[in-house]
Amino acid sequence: MIFRTIDYFEGKVRIIDQTLLPSIEKYLDLGSVDEVAEAIRSLKVRGAPAIGIAAAYGVLLSLETFLKQTVSDPPPFFFDRTNGKAITAGSEPDMRSVRVKLLQAIDILGATRPTAVNLFHALDRMRKIVEREDLDIHLFCGKMKEEAFRIFDEEIETELKMGEYGSSLLKDGMSVLTHCNAGGLATAGYGTALGVIYSAASEGKKIDVFADETRPLFQGSRLTAWEMMKNDIATTVLCDSAAASLISSGKVDLVITGADRVARNGDTANKTGTLTLAIICSKYKIPFYVAAPLSTFDLEAETGAGIVIENRDRDEVVLFQGVKIAPSGVRVYNPAFDVTPASLITAFITEKGLIYCPFDINIEKTFSAGE
């Protein structure tokens, strides 16, 4: 099953509001770059691949808004992923003004969340077109539309390939533990870590899933469990603090997580609590895999020390559904991510296959092979 996580529909960015799941399945149509930026910051759309797509769509939406304001007798919308509509006839806006507007949008979107590198990769791809000076407005709009939708299409294709490679690690009857949500809701609709499980299930393998609840925002219990139930995959939710006893009991065959940024040496940033799982797996000799598209690898970060970790609002920890669960004035430590050293990772599952140690050499080889 491919989830309708994010789309560009008739001049608006359409997302499922992940803050309301699992109780309410509500879709939002975002009509401005500011609305897209707010949706990323507030986690209405989340997950490294998904926010990369959202960023690309946000830039296209900024162009859409500009055209509506400047083209005489504009159509109801200019861009749509399904029918591929683009600019038609009418008065032509000044290209310099277009570029200024879109570069402002890129800056706004780039300031939303600092850790997931997919956001910046997508914005860089859109920026390269914005800065081209050899295009008239018609060609420019076509290129912008094609690049934004290509980012989405490539992501879906990547996720399906990752699922195929990763499913080879899973045998019928295995139990898999995962953390946070690295499924269709975090991506273009299929998933990275959960995509591996979906692929195995599609091959007829019975896989038992354990989902950490993932405090403080419960992406595991709210989102991963919701996805699994939608796909009729047996799932057990557990408190994060119960993972050690579960793994030590021998009831987990392997752990698969997603990633928000992978450094050149294999150090990996993912949802806080991932490091804990990796340490536990090392202790009990359980394989620990990271499913991540190559767009999540940051070759400019030599090690995990070069990854910026986002610290989020204290209210995420001290409030639960608006109810205070900690005393007023208490200090709060709320990093959204932690960094797992490469030495604790068994292998990476990518769209180019599995990457094993030595990671610094094999990551470089994987990227070089794609050039």
**What is each CA distance from 210 to 133, 163, 272, in whole angstroms?**
52, 18, 17
**What is each CA distance from 277 to 110, 173, 211, 214, 270, in whole angstroms?**
30, 22, 12, 12, 11
> What dihedral angle (degrees, nearest 10) is formed by the CA atoms of 135, 70, 28, 258?
20
The residue length of the chain stands at: 371
Structure tokens that stand for 157 in this block: 């294709």
Report the chain's C-alpha Rg in angstroms. 21
| Active-site residue, selected from the candidate residues 212, 260, 298, 338 | 260
365 contacts: CB under 8 Å, gap ≥ 6: none
As a whole number of angstroms, the distance between CA 296 and CA 340 comes to: 15
Contact 162, 195 (CB under 8 A): yes
Dihedral sign for Cα atoms in the order 4, 102, 336, 315: negative
260 is catalytic: yes
**What is each CA distance from 5 to 106, 139, 200, in whole angstroms?**
22, 29, 22
- Give the residue numbers annotated as catalytic, written as ranges: 260
